[in-house]
């Protein structure tokens, strides 16, 4: 009987657990370790953050799903991985520790929200807010509604939404949040009392850490920069890009820009996404030595079968530099999925300003991408157990992804930007004249139908991720 341990029940880890449990859960031991006893559907936290969805509608209990799938569940925080002796130590939520032995380990921890990388950033200091967790989104909602109340009393409020570090990612979530705020303020009749600012480390609006997107419409090529700038113009949102937030004080975000200039952006309410880092696990060798350098990079992300250290120009034209099976090169029974794996470098062109400050949007590895990687890793572990060899692979240079950014949750007067990208990481070898992407597949549009799609995705994915009938028919 083989033993498989998964750390982290986000999109990647939970997807892997479901496929493993469904395929081999009766004959082999599958164990999930997760800090929370509930799954969190993070994409819908944008609605929680403006008071349009109860946070309980974004969560469900994990254990009943795993009981049906034949997956053992440890409710606790993984603290140590012993890759030579093949076991994990976890601090259980109810007290005490648990040991989980494994033949195969999948690290799918998601991100450590590194607020400390930017002094003064984050809800812990009460200075800025976040929508990265249910608790954070609830705090952001409460603070946002206080700003709304001040507007209703006739005060003007400046609301700043974006990224809070030069190396942050998830610009799409920030874009979605600021446009939802616009729609909510219109609905409440106080939009004229708000100044909305989008503050980002992107090279241009619509870059989203994926080098932007280009599509063909009516025989013309349209860029995501054109698309997003048009949205900002229509909604009266001021973009401030090419800026790395360096410090936050109450009501003030300090930054440096691409040119090396220093400045500040004032706010009454701010939601700034922090830098993501790997979860702080200890990797301990058989003699008690630290073997982290064999497993993770300097930021705590798990090293896999990518080609690391390539200069950006070489990386940008080498699609094979991106990992295919997400397997650690030193411990072949250790895999990483979702945000936990270390990308070989940025997708968007990096920038260092004259002061030596790196201002580069990190590669997004959330949502659909995480789910796909979780499935690939799970299927390969199943292959290894049943056949002794892996047969599944999918690089991000081969991967299709769809992003639907809601602009208000109403199914009657809401809207959403729908962006379909193929491949996620440009492959200039296959598409040399189309900026690395298939312009027949890649697509952008905005409208009410997108709002319906966004709501449908929430409902269908909550169905799928609870392992209900037909779950495998719903794509990641």
pLDDT tens by residue, 348-368: 999 999 999 999 999 999 889
- pLDDT given at position 449: 81
Provide the pLDDT for residue 333: 98
Sign of CA dihedral 13, 17, 18, 24: positive
pTM, two decimal places: 0.96
Tell me the per-residue pLDDT of 119-151, one tens digit each, with 9 for 90 and over: 999 998 779 999 999 999 999 999 999 999 999
Q: By percentage, how much of the chain surpasses pLDDT 70?
A: 100
pLDDT by residue (tens digit) across 207-216?
Answer: 999 999 999 8
What are 428-463's pLDDT values in tens digits?
999 998 889 999 999 988 887 878 888 888 899 999
Look up the CATH number of domain 3-113+276-386.
3.50.50.60
Is it the case that residue 170 has pLDDT exceeding 90? Answer: yes
Q: Domain-by-domain residue ranges, the chain?
A: 3-113+276-386
pLDDT, residue 434, reads 82
pLDDT of residue 219: 80
CA dihedral (124, 128, 134, 139) positive or negative: positive
Could you give the strand order of the β-sheet that contains 262-266, starting from the edge strand earlier in sequence?
243-249, 252-257, 262-266
């Amino acid at each position: 009987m083989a033993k498989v341990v998964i750390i982290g029940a986000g999109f990647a880890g939970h997807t892997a657990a479901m496929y493993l449990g469904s395929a081999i859960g009766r004959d082999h031991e599958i164990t999930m370790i997760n800090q929370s006893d509930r799954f969190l559907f993070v994409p819908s936290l944008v609605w929680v953050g403006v008071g349009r969805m109860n946070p309980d509608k974004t969560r469900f209990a994990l254990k009943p799903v795993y009981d049906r799938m034949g997956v053992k569940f440890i409710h606790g925080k993984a603290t140590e991985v012993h890759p030579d002796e093949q076991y994990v130590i976890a601090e259980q939520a109810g007290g005490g520790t648990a040991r989980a032995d494994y033949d195969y380990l999948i690290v799918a921890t998601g991100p450590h929200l590194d607020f400390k990388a930017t002094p003064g950033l984050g809800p812990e200091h009460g200075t800025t807010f976040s929508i990265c967790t249910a608790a954070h989104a609830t705090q952001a909602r409460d603070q946002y509604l206080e700003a709304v109340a001040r507007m209703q009393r006739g005060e003007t409020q400046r609301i700043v939404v974006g990224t809070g570090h030069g190396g942050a990612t998830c610009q799409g979530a920030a874009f979605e949040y600021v446009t939802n705020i616009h729609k909510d303020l219109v609905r409440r009749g106080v939009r004229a009392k708000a100044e909305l600012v989008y503050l980002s480390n992107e090279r241009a609006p619509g870059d989203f850490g994926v080098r932007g997107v280009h599509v063909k419409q009516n025989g013309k090529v349209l860029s995501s920069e054109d698309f997003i700038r048009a949205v900002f113009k229509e909604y009266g949102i001021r973009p401030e890009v090419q800026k790395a937030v360096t410090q936050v004080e109450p009501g003030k975000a300090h930054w440096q820009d691409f040119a090396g200039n220093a400045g500040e952006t004032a706010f009454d309410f701010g939601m700034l996404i922090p830098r993501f880092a790997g979860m702080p696990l200890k990797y301990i060798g058989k003699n008690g030595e630290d073997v982290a350098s064999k497993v993770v990079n300097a930021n705590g992300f798990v090293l896999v079968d990518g080609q690391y250290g390539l200069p950006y120009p070489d990386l940008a034209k080498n699609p094979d530099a991106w990992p295919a099976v997400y397997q650690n090169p030193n411990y072949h029974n250790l895999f990483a999925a979702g945000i936990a794996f270390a990308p070989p470098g940025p997708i968007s062109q990096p920038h260092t300003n004259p002061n030596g400050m790196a201002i580069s949007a990190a590669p997004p590895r959330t949502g659909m991408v995480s789910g796909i990687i979780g499935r690939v890793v799970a299927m390969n572990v199943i292959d290894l157990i049943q056949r002794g060899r892996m047969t599944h692979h999918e690089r991000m240079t081969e991967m299709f992804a769809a992003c639907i950014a809601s602009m208000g949750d109403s199914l009657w007067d809401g809207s959403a930007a729908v962006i379909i990208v193929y491949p996620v990481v440009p492959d200039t070898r296959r598409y040399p004249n189309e900026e690395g992407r298939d312009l027949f597949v890649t697509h952008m549009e905005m409208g009410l139908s997108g709002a319906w799609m966004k709501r449908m995705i929430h409902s269908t994915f909550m169905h799928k991720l609870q392992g209900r009938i037909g779950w495998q028919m719903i794509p990641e």
